Amino acid sequence: MDTIELKVFNIDTSMNFQIIELNNSFIITLKFLEEVIDSEFYNDQLDDLFEKIYNRRENNQNESLEEYIQELNNLGEKHLKYKVLRGELMKNEFSDYHNSFHMINNYIPESHENQERIRLKAMLDGYTIVIKNSLNTLEIKTPTQESHPILMEFLNKTTEFLRGKYPIDFQSKMIIHF
């Protein structure tokens, strides 16, 4: 049983895919932010926490960040409402998906740009895709159909399957469209 995890995010949206291969099917799960409850309070608290974290890091107090990480988690649990979509795709109904899954499970970046290990950094435009497959974890900045055709085809097939199963407007839910 192989599993691929894809996290697609930009400065203000995020979606997490998990695709699990079973004997005769794939279980495809998408988790995305649906709503921020009391967003003004949430954003104020988030800014305060990030400022405290930044100040501690500036003073080389990295070992004492655990309390702020817990506060961030608690804040998210109280104010962030997620939606989870899940579907089962039978292998005999869509055999081409099986090939795409295995290409991504053994994915090696297609472009010649240097791939970096995941690290904390701000991103101002575009989006990033983090792939966790059987080989490793990689981060790809703003892939396009021209630069990463295999990855983009897989994402398109995965989101098209979910769109067919759930009548959801990906634009209004702030889901990144491929």
pLDDT in tens, the chain (178 residues): 899 999 988 766 788 999 999 999 999 999 988 888 998 999 899 899 989 888 888 877 766 778 888 898 899 899 989 889 999 999 988 878 999 999 999 887 654 444 443 333 434 456 788 999 888 888 888 888 888 889 999 998 998 888 888 876 665 554 555 5
> How many Å apart are CA 112 and CA 101, to the nearest integer?
22
Question: Which residues does 134 contact at the CB level (< 8 Å), separation at least 6?
Answer: 2, 105, 106
pTM: 0.74
**Side chain identity at 173, as an amino acid letter?**
K
Alpha helices in the chain (DSSP H): 39-58, 66-79, 95-105, 149-165
